[in-house]
Amino acid sequence: MKPISLFSWLYDVILDARGIRFVLLRVWTIHLLKIENIESITEINQASFGSLNAYNFKNRLFARSYLIKTKRGWFARKILITPKDPDEFLVWSRGKGLV
């Protein structure tokens, strides 16, 4: 089934040379999750909640989802995302040694 974008115009994630940018309205960066702060990235089942104590930043239905575990964080150490291009995200993650 093809993913359905719900609020990707409102909030999304963008890959950056320094890490993963969490953005509002595709312009304003609200947080930069630096590569050195990422412990692991795991692909989760679409039907799975991933983790009940994870911050849910997913904005696409029926899309491939990823659970990001961070080494430290003041708000959440687990974050769920649905990137626009999951294959590109996976290649980026593997290139950084995070998967």
Q: pTM of the full predicted structure?
A: 0.90
Q: What are the CA-CA distances from residue 26 to residues 12, 13, 58, 59 (Å)?
A: 7, 9, 15, 13
pLDDT of the residue at 92: 97
pLDDT at 74: 78
Query: What pLDDT was estimated at residue 46?
Result: 67
pLDDT of residue 72: 94
Domain with 80 in it? 4-95
How many structural domains does the chain have? 1
Q: Which pLDDT belongs to residue 75? A: 82
What's the CATH code of the domain at 28?
A: 2.30.29
**Blockwise average pLDDT, block size 10, the chain, 99 residues:** 86 96 96 97 79 89 94 91 96 94
Kindly state the tokens that stand for 64: 């491939």
